[in-house]
Structure 1
Amino acid sequence: MSEVTRNQMAAFPKCYGSLEELQEALTGAGVSLPGLRLDPASFGDGDGIPLFDLGRCNMTNAARLVEALRRGVPAPGTPTTIPAQGS
């Protein structure tokens, strides 16, 4: 097994965890991307960095995604208060 293949296999659990986090964040922002998945073809591209396939979404979900990005919805578990200067 080549070093790249080993790296890709080791990266899969981390990527899958990131995929779940992305799905949770999108759901929290009211966005549904039913085609969201890891792109299996990217595991063989040689650089060891798998890609996320965001899939297709309808106009309603695209608008929700734009709204969430514009208002800066924090990631789940992120503090929503800004610490005071000098803290």
Structure 2
Amino acid sequence: MAEATAQDLDPFTAVESLREALHQVGVVLPSLAVDPASPSLRLVELGRVRADVALRLARALQQGSPTT
């Protein structure tokens, strides 16, 4: 399956998909939203998080990464 480009994706769908995936690993990004200032760029605002949340996110990403 080919990876979609930013122009092919609905940013609201991307935000909800990311929110659900983060929820499954116990991470909440309170500021996660579509950036309304740049609709043509379809940017997603991740926002700021506490250090403990950043660490949980890093660990979740590391656990999901294939080992080499």
Does the TM-score normalized on the shorter chain lie above 0.5? yes
Which structure is higher in helix share? Answer: 1
SS at match of 1:62: helix
Cα displacement (A) at 1:20 = 0.4
| Structure exhibiting the larger radius of gyration computed from Cα positions | 1
Unaligned runs of 5+ in 2: 1-6
Query: In the alignment, which of 50, 58, 61 is matched to residue 50 of structure 2?
Result: 58
Q: Which residue of 2 aligns with 1:23?
A: 19
Matches within 5 A, 1:7-86: 14-43=10-39, 48-72=40-64
Q: What is the TM-score when the length of structure 1 is the normalising length?
A: 0.60
Q: Secondary structure at the residue paired with 2:38?
A: helix
Aligned-pair identity (%) = 43
The TM-score, its normalising length taken from structure 2, stands at: 0.75
Q: Which runs of 4+ in 1 moved over 3 A?
A: none
Count of residues in correspondence between the two structures: 58
Whole-Å separation in 1 of the counterparts to 2:15 and 2:28: 13
How far did 1:59 drift? 0.9
Task: Please report the RMSD computed on the Cα atoms of aligned residues, expressed in angstroms.
Answer: 1.8
